[in-house]
């Protein structure tokens, strides 16, 4: 005997089974859109079988005998990319922390908070490459253009991280400071900032990691650094030099990620240790 018939016999009301018609229609619509987008692309599907062989061939050209003669120049350009990423991260952090705090519910008024969140959303919608192309008309083909593009583009994401971190802080410290007669500025300084500073510093280091990767892409549009060198040698089909440049980018990025990750773990572990010390 089914569960429905048993429930009816003992007088229980069985809720009707939820219809899956809406989710089925939505899945069909998404499937049709994906298929239509694929058909509209100019893709020769018969050549897809040749892709693995081509990847192996170009991989051999790049990495079988890398051209290490240009390693000093590559390291110099990589240093410029790192400098670009660091300046962009600092610009982003300096601007996003105060703006992000003003966008938090417990800090900024609604007339200021809502426009700031809208500004962050607009900035997040624009890729770094587009911002760099716009800045190129003003600042020219210099690494400073890349640093500005990274700094402006990072404000959208970093500002969102800031106000979400501020809003996630426990209310105990804020209530204690308010009980002492403090205003919004004092609560932000003595309650919200000490509790959120470790997470915000960790996010700042993570922004630097992101900028290291993005700076190589910005170099492809003329913003300087290792990306510009990579673009030039790719255009000239000097694959042995391209392979050496890719090795430099991967190795240096992994080293910076390791150092930054260790610092972020140290910051967060120290914050947790201080929090446990206060509770004991």
DSSP string, the chain: --HHHHHHHTTPPPPPPPP-HHHHHHHHHHHHHHHHHHHHS---GGGGGGHHHHHHHHHHHHHSS--GGGHHHHHHHHHHHHHHHHHHHHHHHHHHHHHHHHTSTTTS-HHHHHHHHHHHHHHHHS-HHHHHHHHHHHH-SSHHHHHHHHHHHHHHHHHHHHHHHHHTS-HHHHHHHHHTT--HHHHIIIIIHHHHHHHHHHHHHHHHHHHHHHHHHHHTTT--SHHHHHHHHHHTT-HHHHHHHHHHHHHHHHHHHHHHHHHHHHHHHHHHHHHHHHH-
Domain extents in the chain: 70-170+196-279
Report residue 276's pLDDT band, with 50, 70 and 90 as the boundaries.
low
| pLDDT, tens digit, 9 for 90 and up, residues 4-17 | 555 455 555 556 66
| pLDDT, tens digit, 9 for 90 and up, residues 103-157 | 888 787 888 889 999 999 999 998 888 888 888 877 777 778 888 888 998 898 8
Q: Is the pLDDT of residue 38 over 80?
A: no
More confident residue, 280 or 146: 146
The region that residue 220 occupies, defined by phi over 0 for left and psi between -120 and 50 for alpha, beta otherwise, is alpha
More confident residue, 200 or 190: 200
Question: What is the per-residue pLDDT for 183?
Answer: 66
Are the C-beta atoms of 212 and 85 separated by less than 8 Å? Answer: yes
- Give Cα separations from 213 to 151, 217, 254, 256, 257 (angstroms): 14, 7, 10, 11, 10
| pLDDT, tens digit, 9 for 90 and up, residues 69-108 | 889 999 998 998 888 889 988 999 899 988 988 888 878 7
Highest mean pLDDT among 28-32, 197-201, 217-221, 251-255: 251-255
Which superfamily does CATH assign the domain made up of 70-170+196-279 to?
Answer: MetI-like (1.10.3720.10)
Question: What is the per-residue pLDDT for 117?
Answer: 92
Q: Is the pLDDT of residue 273 over 80?
A: no
């Amino acid at each position: 005997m089914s569960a429905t018939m048993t429930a009816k016999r003992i007088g229980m009301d069985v809720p009707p089974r939820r219809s899956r018609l809406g989710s089925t229609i939505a899945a069909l619509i998404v499937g049709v859109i994906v298929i239509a987008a694929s058909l509209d692309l100019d893709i020769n599907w018969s050549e897809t079988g040749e892709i693995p062989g081509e990847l192996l061939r170009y991989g051999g050209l790049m990495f079988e005998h890398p051209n290490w003669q240009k390693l000093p120049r590559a390291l110099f350009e990589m240093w410029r990319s790192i400098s670009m990423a660091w300046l962009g991260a600092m610009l982003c952090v300096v601007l996003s922390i105060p703006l992000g705090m003003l966008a938090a519910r417990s800090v900024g008024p609604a007339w200021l908070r809502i426009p700031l969140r809208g500004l962050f959303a607009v900035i997040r919608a624009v890729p770094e490459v587009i911002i760099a192309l716009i800045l190129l008309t003003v600042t020219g083909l210099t690494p400073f253009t890349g640093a500005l593009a990274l700094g402006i583009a990072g404000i959208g994401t970093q500002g969102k991280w800031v106000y979400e971190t501020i809003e996630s802080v426990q209310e105990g410290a804020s209530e204690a400071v308010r009980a002492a007669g403090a205003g919004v500025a004092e609560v932000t300084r003595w309650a919200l900032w000490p509790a959120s500073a470790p997470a915000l510093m960790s996010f700042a280091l993570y922004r630097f990691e992101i900028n290291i990767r993005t700076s190589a892409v910005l170099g492809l549009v003329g913003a300087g650094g290792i990306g510009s060198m990579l673009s030039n040698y790719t255009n000239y089909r000097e694959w042995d030099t391209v392979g050496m440049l890719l090795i430099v980018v991967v190795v240096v990025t992994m080293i910076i990620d390791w150092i930054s990750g260790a610092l972020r773990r140290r910051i967060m572990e120290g914050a947790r240790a201080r929090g446990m010390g206060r509770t004991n």
